[in-house]
């Protein structure tokens, strides 16, 4: 009899620890303490490219979330849920939009109370649509397409700057650099990968370049999966722009820089915009022989923040790799979602969504003021900064309040 009672009690704990769908007819998840039950585990999902061509980026972002969860659990879990621990349910979208949708459906069945993702805008658009249908809060760490937060969704919240702001920041920083230098750079070639990510950023720059004193000689798209950028390199060498402006992922970005170096032509500046290579920890450290003084207008940590530098050290100790801007934003997204769960005091998805709306999170590692979401779910204070590579390390060179190095401009 005692054995039966023990088994029954254990089963009840497992049931209370399972997530539920706040969008279901009951309107309350099974492990919510609003019904007097104690949550043993709170599940959140991560949806990133853990395999395929973007696996390096996806895995480092997943690791940033793991670190954030480990810190919360070691500090006693979610206090408003009687110390419930956070459990990460990992999903791999492989860079495929359809897989992103099916993985959201799986995470829904697994009972997650929120999802963090996705790195690729092409996956984020359908994945957030599916999360909206299911009523699952979705915190975008990285995915830049403006449309993600322009569809009137109630469950989607984005940390990073949208594509329009990245383009605007680039032009703002381009003008600031020209003001600092006696040599005014005036011509550019735009090189970008051809998904909605690269196309939208290049298009926005092209629209406003002339008004900012920048002549775009040509815009050259390519597939992120390409193994040959020789046509692009030949065009750059032929037209000899002052600046090459690049929006790429890691693999094609590395291919581009190798090709430019081998061509013998040295632009006066190479500037990335949301570049998946130039702010990538692997590219920064492993390609130091070819990346000196490359710039990137991108998201990153705040180098003036003691907390950011502590997290950077902890990540290095835990995973034996540098904290990239991608993983820093994923780490922060996890902290923001967990903060919302803490304030909701519930695992009900509707309550967590409402708590995300009221986010005012200042204890973070990003180069911005507090994290607050506007009526569209966009981080209202998000901004890119201008970083530059120096001897295998990345430094912020603008704006002034975040910089930890002076820019070298022109670079050649």
What pLDDT does 177 receive?
Answer: 96
| Structure tokens that stand for 279 in this block | 């702010």
Task: Name the pLDDT band for 5 (thresholds 50, 70, 90).
Answer: very low
What whole-number percentage of the chain has pLDDT above 90? 88
Contact 95, 120 (CB under 8 A): yes
* Rounded distance between C-alpha atoms, residue 295 and residue 307, angstroms: 25
For 218-234, how does the pLDDT look when each residue is reduced to its tens digit (9 = 90+)?
999 999 999 999 999 99
Output the pTM of the full model: 0.85
Residue 10 has pLDDT above 50, yes or no: no
C-beta neighbour count of 76 within 10 angstroms: 10
Q: In this structure, what are the phi and psi dihedrals at residue 377, rounded to the nearest 5 degrees?
A: 90, 10
Integer CA distances (angstroms), 260 to 192, 264, 411, in order: 15, 7, 14
- Take residue 68 and report the two structure tokens written for it: 């954030």
Per-residue model confidence (pLDDT) at position 1: 39
Q: Is the pLDDT of residue 317 over 70?
A: yes
Q: What is the pLDDT of residues 42-76, one digit of tens each?
A: 999 999 999 999 999 999 999 999 999 999 999 99
Q: What is the pLDDT of residue 29?
A: 38
pLDDT at 38 (0 to 100): 65
Strand partners, 145: none
Compute how many other C-beta atoms are within 10 angstroms of the C-beta atom of residue 231. Answer: 11
* The CATH classification of domain 15-160+304-357, taken from the options 3.30.160.270, 3.10.450.50, 3.40.50.2300, 1.10.287.1080: 3.40.50.2300
Three-state DSSP at 340 gives helix
Looking at the chain, which residues constitute the CATH 3.40.50.2300 domain(s)? Answer: 15-160+304-357, 164-298+385-402
For 22-26, 236-240, 355-359, which range has the lowest pLDDT when averaged over its residues? Answer: 22-26
Average pLDDT of the residues in 3-11 = 38
Q: Residue 295: helix, strand or coil by DSSP? A: strand
Q: With contact defined as beta carbons under 8 Å apart, do 380 and 374 qualify?
A: yes
**Which DSSP state fits 26?**
T
When pLDDT is cut at 50, 70 and 90, the band that residue 281 belongs to is confident
Residues 79-86, mean pLDDT to the nearest whole number: 97
The topology under which CATH files domain 164-298+385-402 is Rossmann fold (3.40.50)
**What is the rounded average pLDDT for all residues in the chain?**
91
pLDDT digit string, tens, across residues 120-143:
999 999 999 999 999 999 999 999
């Amino acid at each position: 009899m005692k054995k039966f009672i023990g088994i029954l009690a254990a089963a009840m704990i497992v049931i209370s620890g399972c997530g539920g769908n706040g969008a279901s007819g009951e309107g309350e998840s099974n492990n919510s303490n609003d019904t007097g039950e104690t949550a043993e585990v709170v599940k959140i999902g991560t949806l990133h490219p853990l395999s395929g061509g973007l696996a390096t980026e996806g895995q480092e972002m997943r690791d940033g979330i793991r670190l954030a969860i480990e810190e919360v659990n070691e500090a006693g879990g979610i206090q408003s849920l009687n110390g419930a621990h956070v459990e990460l349910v990992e999903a791999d979208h492989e860079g495929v939009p359809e897989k992103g949708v099916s993985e959201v459906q799986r995470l829904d069945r697994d009972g997650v109370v929120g999802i963090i993702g996705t790195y690729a805008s092409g996956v984020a658009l359908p994945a957030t649509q599916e999360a909206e249908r299911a009523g699952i809060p979705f915190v975008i760490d990285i995915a830049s397409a403006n449309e993600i937060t322009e569809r009137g969704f109630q469950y989607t919240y984005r940390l990073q700057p949208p594509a329009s702001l990245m383009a605007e920041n680039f032009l703002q920083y381009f003008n600031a650099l020209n003001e600092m230098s006696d040599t005014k750079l005036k011509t550019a070639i735009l090189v970008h990968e051809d998904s909605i990510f690269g196309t939208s950023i290049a298009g926005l720059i092209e629209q406003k370049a002339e008004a900012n004193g920048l002549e775009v000689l040509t815009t050259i798209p390519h597939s992120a999966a390409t193994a040959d950028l020789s046509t692009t390199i030949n065009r750059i060498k032929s037209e000899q722009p002052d600046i090459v402006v690049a929006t790429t992922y890691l693999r094609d970005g590395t291919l581009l820089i190798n090709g430019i170096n081998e061509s013998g032509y040295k632009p006066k500046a190479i500037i990335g915009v949301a570049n998946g290579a130039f702010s990538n920890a692997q590219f920064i450290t492993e390609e130091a022989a070819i990346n000196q003084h490359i710039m990137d207008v991108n998201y990153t940590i705040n180098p003036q923040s003691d907390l950011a530098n502590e997290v950077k050290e902890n990540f290095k100790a835990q995973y034996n790799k540098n904290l990239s801007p991608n993983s820093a934003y994923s780490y922060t997204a996890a902290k923001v979602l967990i903060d919302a769960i803490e304030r909701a005091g519930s695992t009900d998805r509707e309550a967590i969504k409402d708590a995300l709306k009221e986010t005012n999170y200042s204890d973070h590692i990003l180069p911005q003021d507090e994290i607050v979401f506007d009526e569209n779910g966009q981080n209202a204070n998000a901004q890119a900064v201008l970083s530059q590579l120096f001897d295998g390390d990345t430094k912020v060179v603008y704006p002034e309040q975040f910089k930890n190095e002076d820019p070298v401009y022109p670079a050649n």
